[in-house]
Amino acid sequence: MAAAPIRPRRSVLYMPAANARALEKAQTLDADGFIFDLEDAVAPDAKVAARDQLARALAGFDYRGRERVVRVNGLDTPWAADDLRMAARSGADAVLVPKVESAAALLAAEAALVDAGAPVGMALWAMMETPRAFLRADEIAGATPRLACLAMGTSDLAHELRALHTPDRIAFLPSLGLGLLAARAHGLAALDGVHLDLSDDAGFEAACRQALVLGFDGKTLIHPKTIAGANAVFSPDPARIAWAERVTAAHAAAEAAGKGVVLVDGKLIENLHVAEAQRLLALANAIGN
């Protein structure tokens, strides 16, 4: 299968599908993607109205090419079948399945989407948020070619682990590492979990930087005021872009001259550096730098 074109996912904003103002406001927001939530952010007695409202928003609002992802209710809930049916025909780019713990769960969600007429290009995303999910991360990440992204759910994970949210997020590191390994092994995108304290700007930026260092593509968010910060941290910085341009130019010149060895800034450049430089340039181009 050909590699999917690179898509920025620096900032992916959750919003409750029951919140009409949020659905409307998202049209003006500069997040790379939106997760329209039918699951935990919607109360049981609001589920049906939220689903209908979301279907109307996806049909009528202009989200300006940003990735539109519907988070359905858990497959073992009474709402999942209707959520998947609505999502399949909604025009959304992807469906996010919560609390995935096996490849079979993703295959079941995929089968329901296909039965309901989902287009071939509609992607699946999986929430990684329970111990069993991380212990089966390789199986889950390889479940189906439709799977495009693993989104970490650190709130549910903290609950399941009986862990504490600390500034260094030490309790989550083993799980985040497993999730990231599985995503990269299967060529998937990987998104970090949300930062819950909206009054803690410094802590939010530190969490974004930690996620960048770990290798995540971006962060899931709960409030519009955090979009710009996430975009800034996960965008390739000008020095990296300049390095990538030097590497690709030097590599092309060396190839034209039939040379096998290239030095850039006095350092040996290998194929892996060329691949990373090309990825950074493609990302910068997709962002519009």
Tell me the DSSP string of 25-73. Answer: HGGG---SEEEEESSTTS-GGGHHHHHHHHHHHHHH---TT-EEEEEPP
Question: Which of the residues 38 through 67 are near ligand LIB3CWND (CB under 6 A)?
Answer: 40-41
* Helix, strand, coil percentages, rounded to 5, for the chain: 50, 15, 35
Task: Indicate which single residue of 8, 153, 218, 229 sits in contact with Mg ion (rule: CB under 5 A).
Answer: 153
Contacts for 121 with CB less than 8 Å, ≥ 6 apart: none
Stretch of residues binding Mg ion (CB under 5 A), selected from 77-85, 123-131, 134-142, 202-210: 123-131
In order of 36, 148, 164, 197, 274, the CA distances from 39 in angstroms are 9, 20, 23, 21, 42
Residue 152 or 247 having the CB closest to Mg ion: 152
Question: Which of the residues 182 through 221 are near ligand LIB3CWND (CB under 6 A)?
Answer: 193-194
Q: Do residues 217 and 191 lie in contact, with contact meaning Cβ atoms separated by under 8 Å?
A: yes
Stretch of residues binding ligand LIB3CWND (CB under 6 A), selected from 131-139, 141-149, 153-161, 247-255: 153-161
Query: Is 192 one of the binding residues for Mg ion (CB under 5 A)?
Result: no
Residue 16 interface partner, choices ligand LIB3CWND, Mg ion, none, CB cut-off 5-8 Å depending on type: ligand LIB3CWND
Binding mask 106-145 for ligand LIB3CWND (x = CB under 6 A): ---------------------x-x----------------
Query: Is 154 one of the binding residues for ligand LIB3CWND (CB under 6 A)?
Result: yes
The interaxial angle of helices 173-185 and 154-161, nearest 10 deg, is 130
Interface residues with Mg ion (CB under 5 A) are 129, 153, 156
